[in-house]
Amino acid sequence: MKTKTLETLFHETLKDIYYAERKILRALPKMARGAQSAELKAAFEQHEQETQVQVERLQQVFELLGKPARGKTCPAIDGILEEGEETLESFAGSPALDAGLIAAAQAVEHYEMARYGTLCGWARLLGMKDAEKLLTATLREEGATDAALTQLADGSVNRAALEAA
């Protein structure tokens, strides 16, 4: 039996987040269409563009490894996105919809930050400086998106949901 190494784990986790990012890329336009707030709609549209760049960065990491850019099914992101779809459907037309969409988007962001943080640490240990640089850029963007969503929620969306109730 072949020994599984940290490099193998790195590659498997890279395939996981690649799958996740591509699924997220398909979910973001639905979230943007469902958003009631113009600010939230714009945030989802901006993150869609950012996510496309992140997918391209992941493809670059695969190239650095000399491996094809392939995803592997990630049940975690599938479940998180399914919850977001349920929120979109069950809160359609509700004043709480945008608050629910932000919560769903932040669940996605937190999953991504966990994956990218781990991959950055492993890339550093494995001496993959170029991969680490690419992954760190994405980790920073995911953190900034999460912070922007929190600011939007705390600034207007959550209060609007409460006051409309």
Percent of the chain with pLDDT over 90: 93
Entry pTM: 0.94
Give residue 164's pLDDT. Answer: 73
Give residue 2's pLDDT. Answer: 78
Mean pLDDT of 129-153: 97
* 108, 81 Cβ separation under 8 angstroms: yes
Mean pLDDT of 63-74: 97
pLDDT at residue 1 tops 80: no
Give residue 132's pLDDT. Answer: 98
Alpha-carbon distance values, 82 to 59, 77, 78, 79, 88 (Å): 25, 8, 6, 5, 10
pLDDT at residue 3 tops 90: no
Average pLDDT, the chain: 96
Mean pLDDT of 60-65: 98
Give residue 34's pLDDT. Answer: 95
Q: How many angstroms separate the CA atoms of 112 and 106, rounded?
A: 10
pLDDT per position as a tens digit, 13-29: 999 999 999 999 999 99
Give residue 110's pLDDT. Answer: 98
Give residue 165's pLDDT. Answer: 61
